[in-house]
Structure 1
């Protein structure tokens, strides 16, 4: 990772800690079958004293296990996000985006929501300047896409980032999504919240095609699939003989 982008990510994570420090401890209550009195006491105490394994458990837990899930998840957000970004959370990254949405993060007070947006941006830039990265590029892209509800801005940043690391990450993503043609039905998020197939395939076939050098992108099946999705309701049009331009 370049030192500049590493510093920017660290700065964004540290800012997240400071902004969310306004979230005071509160008496946490919830499912006593899954969480004992000691767990609930830890969650009700200082943020930095909550054990890592308990933070991971809360990060993945379904919302109805807690009497006030949004407040608990909001308070733990700095710990959860820092662990996720650095690859130390050890749960499915897709869950983080889904849980943050369930907690309503875009509706939180402006400084809290903006601090998270700053982390998404810094994390994405750091990822595109690092190969390999602590978290796979697909997992990172999925998390920030589902969390923000949009894919194209992140792809546009990738298009304009012409570094060896960005190209290596591109090769990794292509290897991943072309396995068994997953790209033709690719959904992001733990609950498949975001259908990324058309946007991602179009981007691969156009914006970054010349950078990939992957002949699998010329497979007739992919081109026909892209053509049919780009021209819905027009079965009379013949499939193109080559990739789109």
Structure 2
């Protein structure tokens, strides 16, 4: 079986292929002339694969109000943004990117585009769980894939079924993050807190097999869940 890292690379290549008709055709870009030069706007009107990474990073994080047609621009740039994100080269908050993707109205995209993006999310999540310490935070990956798809459940199911040392060490690290200052009690994911994760996450944590969570962390999870 192909290793998870190779599966991720293949999924990213498939995303490029599926989006090529959108990403490569000429596009009229209207945007904030204060933040972006005429040269930037001209570059954004051309094939997105030719854009410098610095410009991709800037546009990836930029708010919708900077563009005349934000959904169309973000859709054509999705393969570049997602590749940099999944390879830990975007250097933009995962929750912010998930929120921007939601604002790009992915439900209006073609079925092949939606399926290709979901394929990347699944491959990225599995790759993250199989490598420790890995590239980037597993909680960031979970935030990106769950917020952009609107659901935690499928990703938690994969985590529960991934019985590797790497997955368990990621779980311990994630709990350290979530339990810090009691954040787990009202954990919300996404830059704009779009996904209320606490109820589902607490239920999932308590359903894990005995020994999957250390005693001290489990005590805190139970205390939060039952207070």
TM-score between both structures, scaled by the size of structure 1:
0.88
After alignment, is 148-157 or 203-212 more displaced? 203-212
Structure 1 partner of 2:38: 37
What is the distance in 1 between the residues matched to 2:209 and 2:44? Answer: 46
Deviations 1:8-42 (A, max 9, x none): 11000000000110112312111111111011011
What is the distance in 2 between the residues matched to 1:175 and 1:129? Answer: 19
What is the distance in 2 between the residues matched to 1:96 and 1:149? Answer: 14
TM-score between both structures, scaled by the size of structure 2:
0.95
Shift of 1:65: 0.8
Superposition pairs for residues 40-189 of structure 1, below 5 Å? 40-189=41-190
Change (3 A) 1:3 1:172: farther
Structure 1 partner of 2:3: 4
Shift of 1:57: 0.7
The list of structure 1 runs, each at least 4 consecutive aligned residues, that deviate by more than 2 angstroms after superposition, is 222-225
SS at match of 2:115: helix
Structure (1 or 2) with the greater helix fraction: 2
What is the distance in 2 between the residues matched to 1:175 and 1:111? Answer: 38
After alignment, is 121-130 or 195-204 more displaced? 195-204
What is the distance in 1 between the residues matched to 2:41 and 2:155? Answer: 38
Shift of 1:212: 1.7
| Number of residue equivalences | 225
What is the distance in 1 between the residues matched to 2:211 and 2:185? Answer: 20
Larger radius of gyration: 1
Task: Tell me the C-alpha RMSD between the 2 structures.
Answer: 1.5
Structure 1, unmatched stretches of 5+, are 229-245
